[in-house]
């Protein structure tokens, strides 16, 4: 067993998953095991991935579609139970460059483990920055002064597209909230660590991955496709919980975001304006009574040698 587990959450995207696994197996200068977490796919995912299983690649079926949040929660628990020291999270449409992991590990060494999490630069398929995966840079914070880590930048928010965390910090800060289902679980998790937990994360700029999304337009409820509006219901509900946890300024930030989106819908929406408003307002209301509990890995999951 290697000390690093790459955790991929997948659902009905067998071709993208296969490409992701191939990129992970082709990493240069660093080696990781691969834990595939399948949210009960129905497209023949297992048959597609079966030739890769054994050795460094393991497959788990959750038995239900628990969303990205539930999948990462499940996979991280499996990695902790197995005794991995570092967990490398990514979606199934992530394609790490050959030295992506090696660059993250170089940053891990340069920082001597003193970080909350590490995050790679995510590019879209045309080489442009992926708008959905832009990290939030710590204002007024200097870059890491270690010569070997001159491209390491302090951040307080990132996504689960090439996200590296130490197992000890997962035990300290808990697991992603599975009730989030989709959207915002990674934002809540990274802010839980860096903002509320006081342990800064870092962008490792030279560690690069391609996020092979269908488009690079980001998220905007005012102009997004009608068939995607159900996802915004989770976004507004989850963010309501997230920013309530950050007190007065967090609530103000959330209300400002909602106000921005109100005017976006009013001015930019070209169809289904009433439906878009309905999704936003009903989800904000549901968010006020949304109180999921943070789950921690049980102590009996600790490997024998660390108990």
Q: Select from 258, 230, 250, 213 the least CA-distant residue to 122.
A: 213
Q: Are 68 and 91 in contact (CB under 8 A)?
A: yes
Q: How far apart are CA 307 and CA 304, in angstroms?
A: 6
pLDDT of 254 > 90? The answer is: yes
Q: What are the angstrom distances between the C-alpha of 97 and each of 118, 143, 162, 255, 259? A: 16, 24, 11, 38, 39
How do residues 110-121 score in pLDDT, each as one tens digit?
999 999 999 999
Domains observed in the chain = 4-215 (3.90.550.60), 219-307 (no CATH)
What SS3 state is found at 82?
Answer: helix
Q: CA end-to-end span of the chain, whole Å?
A: 19
Q: How far apart are CA 52 and CA 39, in angstroms?
A: 18
What pLDDT does residue 217 have?
83
What pLDDT does residue 142 have?
47
What pLDDT does residue 303 have?
53
Q: Are 69 and 180 in contact (CB under 8 A)?
A: yes
pLDDT cut 70: percent of the chain above it: 94
Confidence label for 51 from pLDDT (cuts 50, 70 and 90): very high
pLDDT of 9 > 80? The answer is: yes
Average pLDDT score over the chain: 93
Q: How far apart are CA 129 and CA 175, in angstroms?
A: 28
pLDDT of 160 > 90? The answer is: yes
Q: What is the pTM of this model?
A: 0.93
Phi, psi of 117 (to 5 degrees): -165, 160
């Amino acid at each position: 067993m290697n000390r690093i587990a790459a955790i991929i959450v997948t659902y009905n995207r067998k071709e993208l998953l296969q490409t992701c696994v191939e990129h992970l197996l082709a990493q240069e200068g660093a080696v990781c095991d691969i834990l595939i977490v399948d949210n009960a796919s129905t497209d023949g995912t297992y048959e597609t991935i079966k030739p890769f299983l054994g050795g460094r690649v393991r497959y788990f079926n959750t038995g239900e579609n628990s969303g990205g949040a539930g999948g990462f929660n499940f996979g991280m628990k499996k990695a902790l139970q197995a005794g991995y020291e570092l967990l490398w999270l990514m979606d199934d449409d992530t394609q790490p460059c050959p030295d992506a992991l090696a660059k993250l590990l170089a940053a891990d060494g340069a920082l001597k483990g003193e970080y909350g999490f590490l995050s790679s630069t995510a590019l879209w398929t045309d080489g442009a920055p992926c708008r959905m995966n832009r990290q939030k840079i710590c204002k007024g914070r200097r870059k890491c002064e270690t010569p070997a880590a001159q491209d390491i930048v302090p951040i307080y928010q990132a996504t689960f597209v090439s996200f590296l965390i130490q197992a000890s910090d997962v035990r300290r800060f808990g697991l992603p909230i599975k009730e989030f289902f989709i959207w915002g679980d990674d934002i809540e998790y990274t802010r839980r660590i860096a903002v509320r937990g006081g342990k800064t994360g870092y962008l490792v700029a030279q560690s690069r991955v391609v996020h092979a999304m269908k488009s690079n337009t980001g998220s905007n409820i005012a102009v997004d496709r009608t068939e995607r509006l159900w996802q915004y219901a989770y976004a507004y509900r989850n963010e309501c919980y997230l920013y309530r946890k950050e007190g007065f300024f967090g609530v103000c930030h959330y209300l400002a975001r909602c106000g921005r989106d109100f005017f976006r819908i009013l001015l930019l929406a070209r169809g289904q304006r009433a439906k878009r408003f309905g999704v936003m307002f009903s989800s904000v209301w549901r968010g006020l009574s949304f109180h999921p509990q943070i789950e921690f890995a049980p102590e009996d999951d600790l490997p024998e040698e660390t108990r």
